[in-house]
Every structure is written in C-alpha cells, then in structure tokens.
Amino acid sequence: MSTNEYDPARAPLTPAARRGLEDELEQLRRQRDEVARILAGGTDSPGDSVDQARTIEAMDRLAWLEDRIREVSDRLEAARSAPAPGPAQPGDVVTVGSTVTLEYSDGTTATLRVGDIAEDLGEGNLITPDSPLGLALLGRRTGETVGYDAPEGRLSVRVLETARNG
C-alpha cells in the first residue's frame, strides 16, 4: 500500500479510538440485551395496535443494534494499532495518530489531529485519514507543502509541526 492509499477497514486505530469503540461496543451489547428482554417478555396474543407498534419498534431497534454491533466488532477486529514512530516512520512523518500544525496559503494556522472518527470529541480539530486533506498529509514530513482538492477548489498547506500522540 503506498503512502496515500487508505483502506478504512484496516486503518490503524490509536489507543483512544480503540477504547472509544470498545466502550461503544459494550454499551451497544447492553442495549441489545435490554431490548431482547423486553421482546421476550411480550405476550403471544395480538394485543392492540399500540402494543403491536411497540413490538415493531423494539424489533427495528434490535436489528439496528445488531448491525452496529457487527460493524464495530468488524472494525475492531480488522484494525491495526497505530504504529509508534520508529526508524521507518520518524516522529516528523504524518501518520494516523499524529497532531499536525498546518499553515494555509492565506497565512492562517491550525493544529489538527489525524485520526479515526471514533476519536472525534466534537472539538472540530479531527482530520480523518480518508478525507482529501488527510490523504494528502499521510506520509508527509514537517516542512513539506502539500496540495489537496477541497469543495472550494485546490488548496495547499505547509506542515509546520508534527507530533505523535501517546
């Protein structure tokens, strides 16, 4: 796989992303068990339309939970751990798990994290590796300028600083 090829199913997970997915999986399994108990406690009689609607709603919820459990389980099973920097990947190389400070062509700067969506804390500083900017940054070093296609056209950024998250 070359530097800019990205397979989301096999993408590395940082420890924080792995913990987040494991926590979500545990919560989903508890919810599934709760919904299954509710369904198992139902009666065999048809009941009124409200009872039928609740049963259908619970069955839909159970199906959604099963699908999400399978999706998260598959992601955890297929994912590699994000590599620690070593001889092949010095700390100044952008990888999944890096925090990068970028300078845009207009002179503004931003410090962003490259990581899995499972790590998103709602702070607006996450770049997923499969986004146009994420793909352009992977494998780049401090000091390099990279171009990428954005909705507003072709943009470029310079990598000012790269750090690996522990």
pLDDT in tens, 13-45: 777 778 888 998 999 999 999 999 988 886 555
Cα-flanking dihedrals φ and ψ of residue 83, to 5°? -70, 145
CATH architecture of the domain 8-78 equals Orthogonal Bundle (1.10)
pLDDT at 80: 66
Return the CATH fold of 98-164.
Answer: Chitinase A; domain 3 (3.10.50)
Q: Calculate the average pLDDT of the chain.
A: 81
Tokens of 125: 């500083």
Q: What is the model's pTM?
A: 0.57
Tokens of 136: 């352009």
Beta carbons within 8 Å of 116's beta carbon, 6+ residues apart: 11, 13, 14, 17, 96, 128, 129
- Using pLDDT thresholds of 50, 70 and 90, give the confidence band for residue 83: low
Q: Could you tell me if 138 and 129 are in contact, meaning their C-beta atoms sit under 8 angstroms apart?
A: yes
| pLDDT for 78 beyond 80 | no
- Residue extents of the structural domains in the chain: 8-78, 98-164
